[in-house]
Homo-oligomer: A and B are copies of this chain.
Amino acid sequence: MTSPRRSGLGTNQEAVRRHNLGTLLRHLHGAGHMSRAELTSLMGLNRSTIAGLVAELESLGVSERAVPVGNVRQGAGRPSAGVRIAADGPYVVAVDLGVDRAVVARVGLGGRVLQRAQAPVHGEGEAWQVGSSVAALIRSVVADVPPVAPLVGIGISVPGMVRRSDGLIRLAPNLEWHDVSFGGIVLAALGLDIPVSLANDADLGALAEHRRGAGVGIDDLIYVSGNVGVGAGIITGGRRFEGAAGYAGEVGHLRFNPQGRPCHCGNRGCWETEVGAHAIAEAISCPADKVAQLDEVLEGFREPTPGLRDTGTALGQGLASIVNVFNPQVVVLGGYFRTLFPLVRAEVVAGLAERTLPAPLESVTLALPGLGSDSTLLGAAEIALEPLFVDPVAALGSALLDVRTALAG
């Protein structure tokens, strides 16, 4: 479900055109609306070349002309005609699979959420049950999509380890899933056969924050997601760090306190036993059945408890290992850390400074997600959109038109 990696191939002219068209669309996707003049300077190509590429995108129905937008005019000269994302252009379906709920959205280019729906899913539900719930949500978000708009694919964020080669969910501890082909289940429930991409939620959070959130323009960032488990998504050099099989970023099981609590992985004192949802809940004496609503509970606090302060210190100290090892420019704190961090910022920063080496410490910043709780959902949209940026013509050629009819038939 993911394209194989490129080898040391040569480049021919066809590839040049594909690459340039895809890069132009990537820029448009990033900015949403821009002038041809901006594109010219960004891509370093000739004006005429940009004009040709823009014309091709328009004929593909991806972009449309816009009036010379009345933004700040910085100088003399003929105003540059705008290029903007077409209203009925290509879109994807993004699925954010959580432990207790699923969020589904129809997302267009530019990361615009066009429709959204969500529903609770049972914690220990069978995969096929969850799959049919998700399929129902997908049907609802595409209920009033215009027939001319092409569906490029589906992206799914999973709270677990996803094998890159085929998108198989190897292990989702909190869903109690082992080796589930969730992409196939959803497609079967829909009766469709379109591209489906799956990836780990933290990886997708990192991707979305890099493209549209707190990490725009930052090529080396880490998104640390605090939920029941703790995971990290890594962006390096502007690319996703996936590892050999797609499992990279399992920072939750870093050795933190060999005398600590037992972890479900079989060891003791893994970092996530000190800063995961259960540890946070314990620090604020939150009853076990309210751990799923930990966000709301945490928001009730104006001052941290001593237990929370300790959790904050542990969070900072664990982040120190991550910063030492990855040397990121920004660390984005997602999941429950998003509400925890503002409460115990001082302790986190102190724990980080205490254990990080001077050189990597001086260039790192801690940040909250710029996309709030939508990071993973928008990350799922990004991986589904990706084929458009590699080869727009091919991706649109294989996209699905008139989804409502296809779903009805």
Contact = CB atoms under 8 A, between A and B. Distances in A.
A9 B325 contact: no
A246 interface: yes
Interface stretch (A108-116, A128-136, A253-261, A332-340): A253-261
A219 B5 contact: yes
Number of copies: 2
B327 A248 contact: yes
A348 interface: no
Nearest to A20: B10
Which interface class (under 10, 10 to 19, 20 to 34, 35 or more) fits A?
Answer: 35 or more
A26 interface: yes
A16 B354 CA distance: 49
Contacts of A43: 8-10
Contacts of A257: 258
A369 interface: no
A247 B16 contact: no
Contact of A360 (B5, B245, B258): B245
Pick the most buried of A19, A43, A236: most chain B CB atoms within 10 A of its CB: A236
Contacts of A359: 161, 163, 170-171, 245, 247
A202 to B, nearest CB: 12
A288 interface: no
A265 B355 CA distance: 8
Interface in A219-238: 219-220, 232, 236-238
A148 B329 CA distance: 44
Contact of A245 (B8, B27, B317, B363): B363
Nearest to A16: B11
Nearest to A246: B327
Interface in A6-55: 8-13, 16, 19-20, 23-24, 26-27, 42-45, 49
A293 interface: no
Contacts of A242: 236-237, 327
A72 interface: no
Interface in A246-276: 246-251, 253-258, 265, 267
A390 to B, nearest CB: 13
Pick the most buried of A171, A232, A244: most chain B CB atoms within 10 A of its CB: A244
Interface in A360-391: 360, 363-364
A324 interface: yes
A65 interface: no
A409 to B, nearest CB: 39
Given A236-B241, A243-B236, A321-B254, A326 B248 contact: yes
Given A236-B236, A243-B236, A254-B324, A26 B8 contact: yes
A243 B236 CA distance: 6
A315 B232 CA distance: 24
A239 interface: yes
Contact of A357 (B23, B241, B250, B354): B250
A328 B243 contact: yes
Interface string A85-102: 000000000000000000
Contacts of A23: 8-10
18 contacts: A9-B23, A220-B243, A244-B327, A244-B329, A245-B359, A245-B363, A246-B327, A247-B327, A247-B359, A247-B360, A248-B326, A248-B327, A250-B324, A254-B324, A254-B325, A255-B355, A258-B258, A265-B357
Interface of A: 5, 8-13, 16, 19-20, 23-24, 26-27, 42-45, 49, 161, 163, 170-171, 219-220, 232, 236-239, 241-251, 253-258, 265, 267, 317-318, 321, 324-329, 354-355, 357-360, 363-364
Given A10-B43, A253-B321, 15 more contacts: A5-B219, A16-B16, A161-B357, A237-B241, A243-B327, A244-B363, A245-B360, A250-B327, A250-B357, A250-B360, A251-B325, A253-B324, A254-B321, A258-B258, A267-B354
